[in-house]
Amino acid sequence: MDIPEPRFAVTPYGDVDSAALDNLRQSFDTTALLELVDGLAPMAQRFDRTGGVRDELLRLHRMAHTVINGANPSESSADDLWEVAAALIDEFRQMSDHCLEIAAALQPLADLQPDHDV
């Protein structure tokens, strides 16, 4: 009876595809993960701090509530409503692009998933 070699490797963090692991050992720089963490810092600060994205969205709501619903102005601003919205759109698109870059960088690790059915 021929028993094929296993196509997975047992590691302390679960089974992984052997061929994918061999490939990553030749080509994957784990310090790139640390660079991803560093790259998240500015984005995290925009969510954490006063005057960050949350505050900007609330400001935009107040402005839109006045313009669209006729509420009394509660915001003094030199910026136009559309300028504030456009700036937030740009920022969220940049964040989205960065998140997609992170996902792409992580994909080789997800590709370690073994196929135990083969």
Q: What is the pLDDT along the chain (118 residues), one digit of tens a residue?
A: 777 777 899 999 999 999 999 999 999 999 999 999 998 999 998 988 788 999 999 999 999 999 999 999 987 878 999 999 999 999 999 999 999 999 999 999 999 999 877 5
pTM of the predicted protein model: 0.81
Kind plus residue range of the DSSP H or E element containing 15? strand 14-17
Take residue 58 and report the two structure tokens written for it: 């609330």
Which residues have CB under 8 Å from 40's CB, separation 6+? 98, 102
User: Where do the structural domains in the chain lie, given as residue ranges?
Assistant: 29-109
